[in-house]
């Protein structure tokens, strides 16, 4: 049987155009995604770059500040050393002080140098530099004060030298005095304590000159009668009291005012008659430095004129026979003596 060739065969749709559109769509999406990723990366890179620039700027600033602080430290340190060296002289004490202060400044500088190596310590380094500056000012003030004191001592020594030179007429005596002055000058420059010692010696001399001497020192034994009145006695067994009288003398060096007179009664055995409950005590003998017991003390308002003073010692005990010594002291120095005897 023959086939009808005129009937068409069913055909499949052509997929070409649809696939091309899908491919283009996917490419667009991929491109957009790629561009987004690139944009994000660019933003991240820009932020990172900005942060790095900021960090670099901070590091550069800290480095510059560290260098500036270091330069300031070096300037202050060496200027301080220069000023100290200008104040150096021939005085050993002054030079020793300068060397000690230079060593302290060197230690402080080294400590600050260590701080400047780490930018985290810049604030502390600034404080240390300010402290160093204040320390330098203090040191310079101390040096200038000591230098002024030494200049005053030197001036005083020069004055003493001129005075002694004016008094000397003999060459040998002049040489001896000049040697003494040179020795005195060295002592004054190196030892300020010498001046204090001189002042103490002068004060002692003035104190001795102000001692109020006494005269007319008299002592006698007294017998207390039944009527309460007293009568003079020479027999030890009839004596109830001892009366000591003396006159103060004129002394224009002594300042008017209250003065104390220590009365010391020494019995025939060489012992100080003393009873603490009756006012006896101990004072310092300024002539010897030893401690001495006293029997009585008399305080009087002294007006630089003569006064007659009397004191009574009534110990309620028997007196020994023999010779008694009386010593009167003023300002710790012996002002007058006397003696008497009880039979």
Backbone phi, psi, residue 43, to 5°: -60, -45
Please check the confidence at residue 9 and state whether its pLDDT lies above 70: no
* pLDDT band per the 50, 70, 90 thresholds, residue 1: very low
Beta bridge partners, 328, equal 263, 336
Place of tokens 């007006």: 303
d(CA 210, CA 217) in angstroms, rounded, equals 19
pLDDT at site 56: 43
Predicted confidence band of residue 17 (pLDDT cuts 50, 70, 90): low
Under the banding of pLDDT at 50, 70 and 90, the label for residue 6 is very low
Which pLDDT does position 2 carry in this prediction? 43
Query: What pLDDT is attached to residue 267?
Result: 95
Q: What digits encode the pLDDT tens for the residues 213-245? A: 999 999 999 999 888 888 999 999 999 999 999
| Predicted pLDDT at 162 | 79
Query: 10 Å Cβ neighbour count for 151?
Result: 13
Which domains are present in the chain?
28-191 (no CATH), 212-342 (2.60.40.10)
What's residue 141's pLDDT? 85
Predicted pLDDT of residue 13? 53
Coil vs helix vs strand at 169: coil
pLDDT tens profile 176-224: 877 788 788 888 887 777 666 555 555 556 578 889 999 999 999 999 9
89 has pLDDT over 80: no
> What is the pLDDT, as a whole number, of residue 109?
78
| Cα radius of gyration (the chain) | 53
State the pLDDT confidence band at 57, using cuts at 50, 70 and 90: very low
Query: Who contacts 265 (Cβ-Cβ below 8 Å, separation ≥6)?
Result: 219, 242, 244, 272, 273, 295, 296, 313, 324, 325, 326
Which residues, other chains included, contact 89 with Cβ-Cβ below 8 Å and sequence gap of 6+? 95, 147, 150
pLDDT mean over 96-117: 83
User: CA-to-CA distance for 218 and 226, rounded, in angstroms?
Assistant: 25
Predicted pLDDT at 92: 83
Q: Give the residue among 338, 339, 343 at the shortest CA–CA distance from 320.
A: 343
Long-range contacts formed by 334-339: CB under 8 A, 24+ apart: 334/285, 334/287, 335/211, 335/212, 335/213, 335/214, 335/261, 336/213, 336/214, 336/215, 336/217, 336/246, 337/217, 338/217, 338/218, 338/219, 338/246, 339/219
45 vs 140, higher pLDDT: 140
Residues 285, 333: Cα–Cα separation, whole Å: 6
């Amino acid at each position: 049987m023959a086939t009808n060739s005129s009937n068409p065969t069913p055909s499949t749709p052509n997929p070409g155009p649809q696939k091309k559109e899908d491919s283009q769509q996917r490419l667009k999406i991929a491109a957009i995604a790629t561009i987004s990723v690139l944009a994000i990366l660019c933003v991240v890179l820009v932020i990172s770059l900005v942060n790095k620039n900021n960090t670099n700027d901070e590091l550069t600033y800290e480095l510059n500040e560290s260098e500036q602080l270091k330069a300031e430290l070096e300037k202050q340190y060496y200027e301080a050393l220069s000023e100290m060296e200008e104040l150096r002289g021939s005085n050993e004490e002054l030079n020793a002080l300068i060397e000690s202060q230079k060593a302290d400044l060197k230690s402080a500088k080294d400590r600050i140098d260590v701080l400047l190596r780490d930018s985290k310590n810049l604030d502390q380094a600034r404080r240390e530099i300010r402290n160093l500056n204040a320390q330098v000012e203090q040191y310079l003030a101390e040096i200038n004060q000591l230098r002024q004191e030494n200049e005053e001592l030197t001036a005083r020594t020069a004055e003493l030298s001129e005075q002694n030179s004016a008094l000397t007429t003999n060459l040998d005596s002049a040489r001896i005095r000049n040697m003494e002055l040179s020795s005195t000058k060295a002592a004054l420059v190196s030892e300020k304590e010498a001046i204090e010692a001189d002042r103490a010696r002068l004060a002692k001399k003035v104190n001795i000159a102000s001692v109020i001497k006494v005269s007319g020192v008299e002592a006698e034994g007294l017998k207390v009668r039944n009527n309460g009145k007293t009568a003079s006695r020479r027999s030890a067994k009839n004596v109830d009291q001892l009366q000591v009288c003396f006159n103060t003398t004129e002394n224009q060096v002594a300042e008017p005012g209250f003065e104390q007179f220590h009365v010391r009664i020494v019995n025939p055995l060489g012992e100080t008659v003393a009873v603490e409950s009756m006012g006896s005590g101990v004072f310092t003998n300024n002539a010897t430095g030893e401690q001495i017991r006293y029997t009585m003390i008399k305080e009087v308002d002294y007006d630089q004129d003569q006064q007659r003073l009397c004191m009574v010692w009534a110990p309620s005990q028997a007196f020994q026979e023999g010779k008694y010594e009386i010593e009167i002291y003023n300002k710790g120095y012996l002002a007058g003596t006397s003696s008497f005897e009880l039979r």
